[in-house]
Amino acid sequence: MADWLAALDRRAALRAKAGLTRTLRPRAAGDPDVDLAGNDYLGLSTHPEVVAAAGRALSGYGLGATGSRLVRGSTDVHHALEDDLADWLGVDRALVFSSGYLANLAAVRGLVQPRTLLVSDAHNHASLIDGCRISGAETVVTAHADVDAVAAALAAAPGRPAVVVTESVFSVDGDLAPLAALHAVARRHGALLLIDDAHGLGVTGPAGAGAVAAAGLAGAPDVVVTATLSKALGGAGGVVAGPAEFVRHLVETGRTFIFDTAPPPAVAAGVRAAVALARAADDLRAELTDRAGYAVRRLGAAGLPVSTPDAAVVSVTAPGPEAATAWAADCRARGVAVGCFRPPSTPDHRSRLRLTLSTGVTRADFEHALETIVECAPQSRTEVVL
Ligand code: PMP
């Protein structure tokens, strides 16, 4: 075997020894598993109106966008989707990207000027972390949800431009950032606030407009919001939403916007239909809130260390990575798909099962899934931190 491949093999063996092997498992259409692993919070990925809208655009435009947005890929569907998103989120303008990951890379980098300080929450998603890295700006990582630490970091950089970077609903434990307090601190120091509302959009807020709107920050001139179109909206793509001048800046300078082929028009059309449905889905949001509370009570009553969710993400700590893998595999063998999060995908090196709730799952299946999770739980509840 070539040297470099042997070196990769040795590294894979080390990961295996630490219980951190990752393998791909193909899912077939119509897989009978009860899905507590995906992010299809409102069940919109398979909604007939969403699928029909995508299908019509597929016939009209073909499969791909055939070019980047500035060259040939910007269809009327993309523009209409951006208008819909801006209207929903209560901002001047919205700009659609191929993914939430790329939207975050562009948003962070676009907010950075010479001497900017980035203040980033320790639990932030990899795409925000990478955005900070590729921006080249000095970055201070603050303890999770610690407003005082953010204030101290800003106070230590007087006179410098600064951006506070946070998720809204954190993707691993489902807890909500103290958005109003962060905004107040940022404003006091003349800093901007970038909020990734990936897990809030469609799930919380007035008409599902997200955690930023719920915190009363929609349209604030010093706030920029990003989100993915792949979770509650059931599609694919990402969005940056905020002041028109900032969106223009991204159109003209955002590398992950300019040099990336536009998202397929059919996906944009499906997401437009999903936005309309999500705006009207207060009943589904109430059901998600109810299920989150029920999950916490049921798993907590079984003695499992469960998170306190603010939206539709619930996590249960596992004794270690191997235990998490075995727990998730046992659940899967019994027809229940759960997320299995291990380092480096966890911010605190603790392994967990992550349950993402979806109204696309029947209530009976959901309750059965929780029973299964309890029955498959590892015997030892001792937390082991790697
Ligand atoms: N931000 C957060 C908080 C996420 O959970 C995700 C999805 N894993 C992303 C950004 C990236 O979005 P996308 O999957 O559309 O690239």
Q: For 113, left (φ over 0), alpha (ψ -120 to 50), or beta? A: beta
Catalytic residues: 39, 125, 167, 171, 196, 199, 231
The pLDDT, as a whole number, for residue 380 is: 54
What residue's CA is closest to ligand 1, atom 15?
100
Comparing C-alpha atoms, which of 121, 129, 206 is closest to residue 168?
121
Instruction: Give the closest residue (by CA) to ligand 1 atom 14.
Output: 100
- Type of residue at 222: D
Instruction: Output the CA 12–ligand 1 centroid distance in Å.
Output: 26
Looking at ligand 1, which atom is closest to the CA of residue 104? Answer: 10
Q: At what angle do helices 321-333 and 363-375 cross, to 10 degrees?
A: 130
- Probe ligand 1: pick from 99, 108, 120, 125, max atoms within 8 Å of CB? 125
Find the helix or strand (DSSP H, E) in which 152 lies. helix 147-155
Atom of ligand 1 nearest to the CA of 102: 16
Residue 45 alpha carbon to ligand 1 centre in Å: 16
Atom 13 of ligand 1 has which residue's CA nearest to it? 100
Q: What's the pTM value of the predicted model, to 2 decimals?
A: 0.96
User: Any residues with CB less than 8 A from the CB of 314 and at least 6 apart, and which?
Assistant: 174, 292, 295, 296, 299, 306, 307, 354, 355, 356, 357
User: Which string of DSSP letters, residue by residue, matches 21-36?
Assistant: --------TT--SEEE
Other Cβ atoms closer than 10 A to 74: 18
- Rounded to whole angstroms, how far apart are CA atoms 231 and 203? 10
How many Å lie between the centroid of ligand 1 and the Cα of residue 102? 9
Around ligand 1, the residues with Cβ closer than 6 Å are 99-101, 104, 125, 127, 167, 171, 196, 198-199, 228, 230, 238
Q: Whose CA is nearest to atom 12 of ligand 1?
A: 100
Please choose from 101, 204, 225 the residue to mutate so as to test ligand 1's pocket, defined by most ligand atoms within 8 A of CB: 101
Q: Residue 385 has what pLDDT?
A: 46
Residue 100 Cα to ligand 1 middle (Å): 5
Q: What is the ipTM of this complex?
A: 0.99
Structural domains of the chain in order of their starting residue, each with its CATH number: 48-279 (3.40.640.10), 282-375 (3.90.1150.10)
Q: Which atom of ligand 1 is nearest to the CA of 101?
A: 16
The answer to whether the bond into 305 is cis (omega within 30° of 0) is no
Please report which helix (H) or strand (E) contains residue 296, including its range. helix 282-301
Sort strands 162-167 and 117-121 into parallel, antiparallel or unpaired: parallel
CA 199 to CA 41: how far, in whole Å?
A: 9
pLDDT value at position 382?
A: 47
Alpha carbons within 13 angstroms on the beta-carbon side of residue 91 total 31
Q: In tens digits, what is the pLDDT along the chain, a chain of 386 residues? A: 999 999 999 999 999 999 889 989 888 887 879 999 999 999 999 999 999 999 999 999 999 999 999 999 999 999 999 999 999 999 999 999 999 999 999 999 999 999 999 999 999 999 999 999 999 999 999 999 999 999 999 999 999 999 999 999 999 999 999 999 999 999 999 999 999 999 999 999 999 999 999 999 999 999 999 999 999 999 999 999 999 999 999 999 999 999 999 999 999 999 999 999 999 999 999 999 999 999 999 999 999 999 998 999 999 999 999 999 999 999 999 999 999 999 888 888 899 999 999 999 999 999 999 999 999 999 754 444 44
Distance (angstroms) between ligand 1 centre and the Cα of 27 equals 20
CA of 236 to the centre of ligand 1 (A): 10
In DSSP terms, 161 is beta-bridged to none
Give the separation between CA 38 and CA 169, rounded to whole angstroms: 16
